[in-house]
Chains A and B, each alone.
Chain A
Amino acid sequence: MAGGGFKDAREWLQERLCLGSIQEFVAHKTVPLHSATPWYFFGGITLFLFVIQVLTGILLLLYYRPTPSEAYESVQFIMTRVEFGWLIRSVHSWSANLMILSAFVHMFSVVFLHSYRRPREVTWLSGIVLLGLSLAFGFSGYLLPWNTISYFATKVGTDMAASLPWIGEPLARFLRGGEDVGGATLTRFFGFHVAVLPGAMTLFLLLHLALVQKHGISSPPKVEQEARRASKPIPQMAFFPNFFLRELMAWYAALGILGALAALFPWELGVKADPFAPAPAGIRPEWYFLAPFYTLKLLPSHVWFIEGELLGLLAFGLLCVFWALLPFWAVNRAGALRTRLVTGAGVALLSYLAVFSALGYWR
């Protein structure tokens, strides 16, 4: 009787949701099997951490109050009075950082495995937008506890935006909701963090996932060449259940790391922001902004006739555009892949980020 009921419900759903076609798609979906296959997990891990972000973020919303007089106290209340509030807040903060780390690993694995190639240019572009949105999530979320470090880091960050030519001042005023970082900034950042960015993230995530399903998972050029030479197809692994179960293991590992970090190193709250107090020594942004931050610090006040900071920001802007257009300059006019150039650029960027982030942290 029960089995019959379940079968009826399944048929009812299949008829209305076309589950059959989805089942068919999943049953035939495969993942290339080679030595670099484990790098494919990082896309899924990033997605998993994003889901954790959404869930813990919703729980934090139950208590968080986005005003300068209540923000800090509400986070303090979450951490000290709410049952498991400390865990939710710490997991939210740690998973944000791990998500960005995982997104960077995913991006560089795409670069080094050359998975951005035709027809996956738009998949790459949507991934770059997703990374940008993740960084925006980090920047807007950093201010929300309204502590001294986050307050002054936001001041420095929005000051940088203000130094851009033409659009700088209006952009900074738009971000701050006024001339300086204050209550209006907190309200805006909260709005960006819980409404604008999640909406945009969901849209681009759906596009990204749809394109990944549409084009399938690419194999590295070397693997393709070897298969061609041997006149054999590239070995494949069934997505479900083989790859999915492995991905599930990776998610559990990420969950274990996340739990350990949250329990052993709870995210600290700091001291409540005081806009009238002088900026404390050693103000620095989150680790993922350290490399550009340290580079800007190294630049002289003027390079020829341009302000050093402005020159740095323009250079970073150009670098981002150049990087986003990678699939287009990665192939020459004859359509051949510039493997060495792309790998070299990837190594150079990764080295720059690692070295300057370390210098920014320790100096």
Chain B
Amino acid sequence: MRMTVILWALTGAAGLAMGARDSCVECHSALSGDLQAPAVQMENDVHARRGLGCAACHGGDPSSDDPQVSMSRARGFTGKPNRLTIPKFCARCHSDAAFMHRFQPQPRVDQYAQYMTSIHGKRIASGDAAAAVCTDCHGTHGVRAVKDPLSPVHPLRLPETCGRCHADPQHMAKYGIPTNQLAEFRKSVHWEALEKRGDLSAPSCASCHGNHGATPPGVATVAAVCGTCHVLMQQLYDKSPHRPVFDAMGAAGCVVCHSNHAVLRTSPAMLAGPEAVCSRCHDATSAGGLAAAQMGASIQKLNEALNRSRSILDEASKAGMEVSEAVMRTNDAAEALVKARVAVHAFDPKAVEQPVQEGLAVAAETYQAGVDAMRERDRRRIGLGVSLIAILITMAGLWFTIRRLESQPR
């Protein structure tokens, strides 16, 4: 059976590559509605572009104009595959390393195996036809390469694609899982980076959940998932006193403070004050509460010093002063601020204090550069005033000299 499929695919590919006619496309293009759609969508299909025609998936004989012949069982026509069999159907080629090697030098062929470990695959295996199959995410006849920005699984479009089912309360009703993930994700810094800045390295759904093997990260694996990108935070958290406590409580690491889908921009207010996440567990007067307040105050102090420095340098720059070196130096203070924010994950005020002090020293230096630049601007203006007065006096002197010369009789 498998050999037959591959032969279909190869003969179909060879035929298209040689420019052979395809009666499937010819007839379906002339039809309307749902029967025409596959022929139209195939124009942009990654399979069709690689020379795989309709017969490569559906079987049949595209060389015959007679539908009775071209779509006959005798010619291998299989028709529309059953939804529950779609993953296996696609896997006939996509799990065949030898076949896929014809199109890519290092093809990925583990999608089906991964899929069967996913919650989607398990439900399909149990006969739940509402679970997602390949075509739900990739499309059917207009399948595009993942790197194609119009592909529904391109990183910038993936949240919407997952949200088609996961944000649909009707679809999710029988599974009893929330449907607010997409709405929550849209509040997050990850969404901001992805959507507003078009940063393809920012995480979308598959970055944390996996794609073909999509599974919600378990409590024990959350830190590892976040730590894939936030390596230093994870290392500090693993060594921190919170790790064993959270593990014992069954609390999901990073999610406890940062949430899962709605990962908001961090600020010192998360550590100290009425909206502090620490205050959910630590009383303000407890050792933990005091440590959090101390870390929050240190970071706030550096934040303010950096803003003050940037503000005066900006003012000096607008006044035409050359302060680019000092502006560049503020990057060191900003880097120290990032280090201090990272160090918070050690939950030790001493770890935060070291980068804060380094940053404060740089911020003080750059602020002074700004103050010096503004003083220099004032000196220049005074110098200009004095010079202009001298020039005006000289011009007045010249004018009186001319008047005196011209009033004298020749």
Interface residues of A (CB under 8 A from B): 76, 79-80, 86-87, 241-242, 245-246, 248-249, 252-253, 255-256, 259-260, 263-266, 268-269
Contact = CB atoms under 8 A, between A and B. Distances in A.
Interface in B375-409: 380-381, 383-384, 387-388, 391-392, 394-395, 398-399, 401-402, 405-406
B392 A266 contact: no
A80 B392 CA distance: 30
Given A260-B388, A264-B381, A79 B322 contact: yes
Contact of B324 (A76, A241, A249, A265): A76
Contacts of A255: 391
B34 interface: no
Contacts of A268: 320, 322
B383 A263 contact: yes
Given A76-B322, A264-B384, 12 more contacts: A76-B324, A80-B322, A80-B325, A245-B398, A245-B402, A249-B395, A249-B398, A252-B391, A256-B388, A256-B392, A259-B391, A260-B388
A76 B325 contact: yes
Is chain B's interface secondary structure helix, strand, loop, or mixed overall?
Answer: helix
Interface residues of B, number: 21
A266 B321 contact: yes
Contacts, number: 56
A263 B324 contact: no
A86 B383 CA distance: 13
Interface of B: 320-322, 324-325, 380-381, 383-384, 387-388, 391-392, 394-395, 398-399, 401-402, 405-406
B399 to A, nearest CB: 7
**Which of A79, A248, A249, A259 is the most central at the interface, judged by chain B CB atoms within 10 Å of its CB?**
A249
9 contacts: A76-B324, A241-B402, A242-B402, A242-B405, A246-B402, A249-B399, A252-B398, A260-B384, A263-B381
Contacts of A256: 387-388, 391-392
B395 A252 contact: yes
Contacts of B321: 266
Contacts of B380: 87, 263
Contacts of B381: 263-264
Residue in A242, A259, A269 whose Cβ sees the most chain B Cβ within 10 Å: A259
Nearest to B376: A86
A241 B402 CA distance: 8
Given A245-B398, A252-B395, A269 B324 contact: yes
A241 B320 contact: no
Contacts of B387: 256, 259
A252 B321 CA distance: 26
Contact of A253 (B322, B395, B406): B395
B153 to A, nearest CB: 29
A87 B377 CA distance: 12
A248 B398 contact: yes
A256 B396 CA distance: 13
A303 B380 CA distance: 53
A262 to B, nearest CB: 8
B384 A259 contact: yes
Nearest to B392: A256
- 6 shortest A-B CB distances, which residue pairs? A266-B320, A263-B384, A79-B322, A256-B391, A263-B380, A249-B398
A242 B401 CA distance: 9
Contact of B401 (A79, A245, A266): A245
A266 B320 CA distance: 5
Nearest to A75: B322
Contacts of A241: 401-402, 405
Contact of B406 (A79, A80, A242, A252): A242
Contacts of A80: 322, 325
Contacts of A76: 322, 324-325
A89 B399 CA distance: 31
Contacts of A269: 322, 324
Contacts of B322: 76, 79-80, 86, 266, 268-269
A253 B399 CA distance: 12
B259 to A, nearest CB: 37
A66 B50 CA distance: 54
A266 B325 CA distance: 17
A242 B395 CA distance: 14
Contacts of A259: 384, 387-388, 391
B406 to A, nearest CB: 7
Nearest to B320: A266
A248 B401 CA distance: 12
A246 B403 CA distance: 11
Nearest to B326: A80
Nearest to B393: A252
A246 B398 CA distance: 8
A229 B383 CA distance: 54
A245 B397 CA distance: 10
A249 B395 CA distance: 5
A265 B399 contact: no
A288 B401 CA distance: 38
A80 B324 CA distance: 10
Contacts of B406: 242
Contacts of A79: 322
A259 B384 CA distance: 7
A201 B142 CA distance: 68
